[in-house]
Amino acid sequence: QLNDIKVEHHPNSRILTKVQAFGNFKHQPAHYSLWLAPDPDKHPWHPFKSCLGFDVAEIVLKVALNNEQTDHRLDICRCCAQKSEKFTFHNHKDFTKDFISIPFTDRSWDYDVYYHDLWKWATDLLHDPYLFPHFHFDAQ
């Protein structure tokens, strides 16, 4: 009939199509028991080959790396995966960041400097039972 309202749901919802007269139509959400929840996605990182690949791509996009920077980070990832060197950083506390300002002529040059704390490194060496006996302390 003219002005009837036909409600069609997605085929996967398994809810039958309904036709109602305009005067009888009431907007209402489908009852939760009439539809089935979709199966959980076993590979939510698709189209990436792995979850790790997705995570790396997400980081690259978040920090807006250019192609050269991205390739360099991927080389580091491959080096870590091949375990060709021991990876010694545990968290952000292994890095130290300072801000330095260098006055030169009529202006000041400001830089963020990242470094590994040499005092902490030397202290760690002194606590190493294999290295400590080889240190020679002479107060003269």
Print the SS3 string covering 16-59.
Answer: CCEEECHHHCCCCCCCHHHCCCCCCCCCCCCCCCCHHHHHHHHH
Q: Which residue has the higher pLDDT, 23 or 72?
A: 72
* pLDDT higher than 60, residue 140: no
Please check whether residue 63 lies inside any domain of the structure. Answer: no
Distance, in Å, from the CA atom of 84 to the CA atom of 69, rounded to the nearest integer, reads: 21
Residue 53 forms part of a structural domain: no
Establish if 107 belongs to a structural domain: yes
Single-letter amino acid code for the residue at 92: H
Q: Is residue 40 in some structural domain?
A: no
pLDDT, tens only, 51-72: 999 999 999 999 999 999 999 9
120 belongs to a structural domain: yes
The answer as to whether 82 is a domain residue is no
Q: Is residue 131 part of a domain?
A: no
- Number of domains comprising the chain: 2
Domain that holds residue 13: 5-34
Whether 41 is in a domain gets the answer: no
